[in-house]
Structure 1
Amino acid sequence: MRYAIVTETYPPEVNGVALTVQGLEQGLRERGHDVELVRPRQDGDLDIAADTLLVRGAGLPRYPGLKFGLPATRTLRKRWQSARPNAIYVATEGPLGWSALRAARQLGIPAATGFHTRFDDYMRDYGAPWLQGVALRWMRRFHNSAQATLVPTRELQHFLQGQGFDNVVRLARAVDTRQFDPARRDRGLRRQWGVGDDGFVAIYVGRIAAEKNLPLAVRAFRELQKTRPEAKFAWVGDGPAREQLQRDNPDFIFCGVQRGEEVARHFASGDLFVFASHSETFGNVTLEALASGVPTVAFDYGAARELLRHDVHGAAIADGDDAGFIEAVVRIGGDDLLRNAMRMACRNAVAALRPEQVAEDFDRILQSLARNGGPHVAAAAT
């Protein structure tokens, strides 16, 4: 089969969408399919594979290094007329994504979209809650232009169905447990952080941005320090809020963006993953923390609801219960014996998740669209 994947973010950009899309692409290739990747041109692009189509892009405000694709309907229609895909997957809702759906519709090519980002929740996080309804309607119009909308959890599937999204299909996520492994815990890295074997490091991995609810993570850590003053907080990632966060908290350790084995080494060298975000569609970092044997405190939705068991792998806190979140960080962060008991349970929670199974399920969904063109068969395939 020949597939096209359209995305406005892709490695070396580091974010959950980029890495998820790359994993899906690689999974299809490993299953023997021809895959064309369509994305904006990135700074530093040199040796580009023949099966990659680069389009014009523009910088994303407040997110240095990230771009969105500019409209490209005519380019895509011409490309797909000469080399027609059996089905396309559109991962992002930007101008390039809209162009891809428009070109696919004009050519009669079946399409699936991925619901990766809760832009409606972002409106709240950036001080415009009155725009949440507008954002949700805009996303519904985009995704209903395709034959299927792929989501990672049953919770999100049920929510979108209740909001009028058509043919919402669950495609589960997985984590590479060969990359993320407790064995990557690094005493040398911990010494760089000023922590010995018996010390404590809270860790955050992800975008350092307003939508991640970072002030709550800081408050929780400061409460923990009242009983564990030697505790450190390591931050892995970058983003528009980093400068202010670093200025306000000079004792925090900022590690910058880490990739591949390095991010796995950083994850495994932490003692508690403090993840206060309440705007995740899924939260791949939750799986990565569990695979790394790091107990996790997160709100009870997305990946946490699917896999994190309260008081077994850390704490799953009811969304909005900030006091409960802080209490869990203080309680688990202050109890070394409890965390040690949780470490193996964390690893076991994700041991059965296999990227190969995700690739197989994704392939089956796209094949059902290619062969039947209708949404009902795609839904039945999952």
Structure 2
Amino acid sequence: MRVALVTDAWHPQINGVVRTLSTVVDELTQLGHDVVTITPDRFRSLPCPGEPEIRLALATPGQVGRRLADARPEAIHIATEGPLGQAARRYCRSRGLAFTSSYHTHFPQYLEMRMGVPRRLTFAVMRRFHAAAARVLVTTDTLADELAAHGITHTVLWPRGVDARAFAPRTDAVAIDGPRPVMVYVGRVAVEKNIGAFLDLDVPGTKVVVGDGPQLAELKQRYPDVVFAGWQSGDDLARWYAAGDVFVFASRTDTYGLVLLEALASGLPVAAYPVPGPADVLGHAPHVACLNDDLATAVHGALELSPADARAFALDYSWTACATRFVEQVEVLDPAVWDGAHASLAARLSAPVTRFIGR
């Protein structure tokens, strides 16, 4: 199948959404599918205010539409609600092209936390955006229920996977200069991740933060005793995971938390709050995660759990299954629809010429 993937989240951004989408593209290719990506790097763009590593594409529906028309995909998936997603949605709507979408990021919560925008306003935008999709792919039942409460009801489950070959216990883990236990967080360093709740914990051991983001400089100044590893990827990232004894996830807003599976695959039991995301993924697995409203209690509990059990749990997840589920959920287009879309486009382009000649 030829699939067009439209996404505002793409390299060089570093986050779970980018890792998910790029890994799924790789898996789909290995499964024999043809994936056409429409991403910010293909257009002129501007840096997102406050987060310059995120590029906002300056693309019109016509520019996105021409790329879609050239590709003639059998299915179109719009992964994000940003400028590219909006342009692709408008083009598809104007041409009668069906598409699916996905909900990855809790923008209503994030915009409220960062800018004070009421959630109801952002949810209204989200509801309008996703209403045109044939179906909306979400990671968990809890997220589906939450979206349904805001009028987004046509959701289907699309769980994530983990590369258990890349993330695994290893003998060459990073040597941590500090007392045990080593408590690790991996992810974006931003206010919505609630990292301060982790770093404020009065528990013995060494705290490690792996990642980059707009809050990094502030946290470095506030917590001089914490090990800040900065951005890591690939084998280096796996070595930082393997250096830990427990993974601490303080976010209350993540819709899934891909890092949870990466940590478990690396042999790190998880300490987290019992909120959507961690509760959906690990709430049924008290043998690999301790979820508690008191994060210090969660850390102490997770340190009593078995690294071998954590690893075994993660082995039940795979990216191949994630990619296969994606293909099962996209909306397959009737080839005749493309012919109709081209005819409509040709008529619009020729109309001015026809009117001029007729004068």
Q: TM-score, normalised by structure 2?
A: 0.88
Deviation at 1:71, TM superposition (A): 3.4
Return 173-182 or 116-125, whichever deviates more: 116-125
CA separation of 1:147 and 1:309: change in aligned 2, threshold 3 A: closer
Matches within 5 A, 1:279-318: 279-300=253-274, 301-309=276-284, 311-317=286-292
Instruction: Report how many aligned residue pairs link the two structures.
Output: 335
Return 115-124 or 295-304, whichever deviates more: 295-304
Q: Deviations for 1:209-237, whole angstroms, at most 9, x for unmatched residues?
A: 100112211122xx10xxx3xx2111100
The aligned counterpart of 2:8 is 8
Secondary structure at the counterpart of residue 126 of structure 1: helix
Secondary structure at the counterpart of residue 100 of structure 2: strand
The aligned counterpart of 1:248 is 222
**Is 1:28 matched up with 2:28?**
yes
Distance 2:238 2:12 in 1: 16
CA separation of 1:80 and 1:126: change in aligned 2, threshold 3 A: closer
The aligned counterpart of 1:117 is 105
**Is 1:217 matched up with 2:201?**
no
Counterpart code for 1:136: F
Deviation at 1:369, TM superposition (A): 3.5
Deviation at 1:332, TM superposition (A): 3.5
The aligned counterpart of 1:49 is none
Distance 1:60 1:146 in 2: 26
Q: Deviations for 1:159-179, whole angstroms, at most 9, x for unmatched residues?
A: 212321141111111111111
CA separation of 1:372 and 1:299: change in aligned 2, threshold 3 A: farther
**Is 1:81 matched up with 2:69?**
yes
Q: Deviations for 1:195-221, whole angstroms, at most 9, x for unmatched residues?
A: 47xx3211110011100112211122x
Q: Which structure 2 segments of 5+ residues have no match?
A: 337-359
The aligned counterpart of 1:376 is none
1:207–1:237 CA contact under 8 A, matched in 2: yes
CA separation of 1:181 and 1:237: change in aligned 2, threshold 3 A: same
The aligned counterpart of 2:167 is 180
Deviation at 1:28, TM superposition (A): 1.9
Deviation at 1:280, TM superposition (A): 0.4
**Is 1:207 matched up with 2:191?**
no
Distance 2:307 2:241 in 1: 13
Deviation at 1:5, TM superposition (A): 0.5
Distance 2:261 2:217 in 1: 27
Counterpart code for 1:61: P
Secondary structure at the counterpart of residue 200 of structure 2: helix
Distance 1:350 1:311 in 2: 14
Deviation at 1:68, TM superposition (A): 1.9
CA separation of 1:175 and 1:87: change in aligned 2, threshold 3 A: same
1:305–1:316 CA contact under 8 A, matched in 2: no
Distance 1:210 1:73 in 2: 33
Matches within 5 A, 1:124-203: 124-126=112-114, 128=116, 131-182=118-169, 184-187=170-173, 189-190=174-175, 193-195=176-178, 199-203=180-184
2:74–2:335 CA contact under 8 A, matched in 1: no
CA separation of 1:125 and 1:179: change in aligned 2, threshold 3 A: same
1:77–1:103 CA contact under 8 A, matched in 2: yes
The aligned counterpart of 2:85 is 97
Distance 1:150 1:210 in 2: 26
**Is 1:344 matched up with 2:308?**
yes
Distance 2:271 2:214 in 1: 24
Q: Deviations for 1:71-129, whole angstroms, at most 9, x for unmatched residues?
A: 3201122233333222111111111100011112222222111100001111342262x
Secondary structure at the counterpart of residue 77 of structure 2: strand
The aligned counterpart of 2:349 is none
Secondary structure at the counterpart of residue 301 of structure 2: helix
Matches within 5 A, 1:249-288: 249-288=223-262
1:9–1:68 CA contact under 8 A, matched in 2: no
Deviation at 1:327, TM superposition (A): 2.4
The aligned counterpart of 2:40 is 40
Counterpart code for 1:292: S
Q: Deviations for 1:135-182, whole angstroms, at most 9, x for unmatched residues?
A: 111111111121111001111112212321141111111111111112
Deviation at 1:311, TM superposition (A): 4.4
Q: TM-score, normalised by structure 1?
A: 0.83
Counterpart code for 2:295: F
The aligned counterpart of 1:48 is none
Q: Deviations for 1:273-292, whole angstroms, at most 9, x for unmatched residues?
A: 11100110111011111111
Distance 1:82 1:246 in 2: 48
1:87–1:109 CA contact under 8 A, matched in 2: no
Counterpart code for 1:326: A
RMSD (Å) for aligned C-alpha atoms: 2.0
The aligned counterpart of 1:325 is 295
Distance 1:308 1:166 in 2: 24
Secondary structure at the counterpart of residue 370 of structure 1: coil
Distance 1:181 1:12 in 2: 25
Secondary structure at the counterpart of residue 39 of structure 2: strand
